[in-house]
Structure 1
């Protein structure tokens, strides 16, 4: 087995890549990294000094592949399966990359800002930054509501890279900043994502670690049930 993914099971960006791997039943090995432990963190920093997870190692092709979107495109090109995650048609591919970046930058990033602020040391909280992050999420929710009108998946008719990005971001964002009641398209899209077997598997593997999530007290009971 040539593929190894260095990850943490609670990290939403790691879930994004896991979903892509599970969509195509791609064989790989998981190695859990504790970035708070310097020895464990070396598994990542020794391969990608920026120290961000996940990182994919492909011994068959002698490649280290960082950054979630690049990892998924790499898998789509060199380890394709029955579910193409990036359309061949150029315009559709551009739209897919656009919505992939959208979910990363305007859902996952502000969600993480809110989460991390809760565990800052006393006196180091950033209420203004958190308020800005909540505003970004609410704007993103409105844009997703419009995008999802009359469609099942983020771009076109098929599950794609964009949906791999959407699922973990929306899962944790919905906990820290619940969806508005008047966004039925967003809510329905979220339920379709949760029902997708690849997404359900990634979340099931994360569940034992939910006690580490700073907003664990706000998680709906259905997400905590085994």
Structure 2
């Protein structure tokens, strides 16, 4: 099984966390390697990553990859529970991807555009989305160790990179103590700490400048 990924990519970290959580063996095809980039281009014309290749099958999109791993390479940690609990986990996964990761990327990537093509209005909107989702998450995390309750799940795989980078782009206010404590628990979790450490050499690539923390 091969994973085409870059260690600094938030969506790649999401899948790496799931793989590390269950100690699932795989070949890491780092996109720092030109040959891995060429292979990815032949598999997927959009060249978006991560991409998982298992024998003759190519699986795209981080949430789908993690679901595939659970079906075909189950480990001791059941990242997507059955029944209604699984519905909540999938819902939270989409919330972290769509309402934390997406606005974070809008803010972080805007400086890479030519000055004439930057979108200050869109960045302002993205900051507003983060303000509102931070407030919602701080409330929803009350009494919970992890995003969906007491068990570490797919939702936490999504939360870790999204909150990690979102706090760099638009800092979580001090008043949201539950959300800030949850982010700290995520970063201390072994599979997440490993993914963060592997990405550490690439922090200079963060367009806004990586803060001297985490």
TM-score (norm 2): 0.96
Matches within 5 A, 1:49-88: 49-59=45-55, 62-88=56-82
Which runs of no fewer than 5 residues in structure 2 stay unpaired?
none
Structure 1 residue aligned with 2:43? 47
RMSD of equivalent CA atoms? 1.5
1:132 and 2:125 are equivalent in the alignment:
yes
What is the CA–CA distance in structure 2 between the aligned matches of 1:155 and 1:131, rounded to whole Å?
29
Maintained 8 Å contact 2:4/2:36 = no
What is the CA–CA distance in structure 1 between the aligned matches of 2:12 and 2:52, rounded to whole Å?
10
SS in 1 for 2:4: strand
Structure 2 residue aligned with 1:14? 12
1:28 and 2:19 are equivalent in the alignment:
no
Instruction: After TM superposition, give the deviation of residue 143 of structure 1 in Å.
Output: 1.1
Task: Give the total of aligned pairs.
Answer: 214
Q: Describe the superposition over 1:30-85 as per-residue Cα deviations: whole angstroms up to 9, x where unpaired.
A: 112259x7x754322321223210000011xx211000000000001110111110
Task: Pick one of 132, 135, 138 that aligns with 1:142.
Answer: 135
Instruction: After TM superposition, give the deviation of residue 147 of structure 1 in Å.
Output: 1.1
Matches within 5 A, 1:100-115: 100-115=93-108
Which runs of no fewer than 5 residues in structure 1 stay unpaired?
none
SS in 1 for 2:146: coil
Structure 1 residue aligned with 2:111? 118
What is the CA–CA distance in structure 2 between the aligned matches of 1:101 and 1:34, rounded to whole Å?
28
What is the CA–CA distance in structure 1 between the aligned matches of 2:126 and 2:14, rounded to whole Å?
21
Maintained 8 Å contact 1:92/1:156 = no
Maintained 8 Å contact 2:138/2:177 = yes
